Amino acid sequence: MSLRQRTFFLTSASDDRFIVCYDIADPKRLQNIAARIEKICMRIQRSVYYTEWNNIASLQKALSPAIDRIDPKSDDFRIYKISGKTYALHSAIDIDKPYIFI
């Protein structure tokens, strides 16, 4: 699946699938963080992104330029692993064990 492809249907079940979301207090940092995340994740809402990645450690490393800009006092940044065999983002999904960076 191409990250630039704007589709709601997932094509791969082999990689781990993640939802990345945030709430950033400062508008300037918000734009910077959004631009960095959008390079490797597909935006599905304003501050919610989808990505397929090999594992959480490599995703965290890829997102580190964005995570490093997080202000732990005023911002919220989360990564949720999608579990189960859901293949469409418009369907209900189960999210287990969020990875929270605050």
Question: Domain ranges in the chain?
Answer: 16-101
**What residue type is assigned to position 86 of the chain?**
T
Task: Return d(Cα 67, Cα 60) in angstroms, integer.
Answer: 8
Q: What global pTM score does this model have?
A: 0.69
Q: What is the number of alpha carbons within 13 Å of residue 34 lying toward its C-beta?
A: 15
Q: Per CATH, the architecture of 16-101 is what?
A: 2-Layer Sandwich (3.30)
Q: Please, what sign has the CA dihedral across residues 94, 30, 77, 39?
A: positive
Nearest residue to 70 (alpha-carbon basis) of 19, 20, 25: 25
> pLDDT per position in the chain (102 positions), as tens?
333 333 344 445 556 889 999 999 999 999 999 999 999 999 988 899 999 888 888 999 999 999 999 998 999 999 988 876 655 554 444 556 666 654
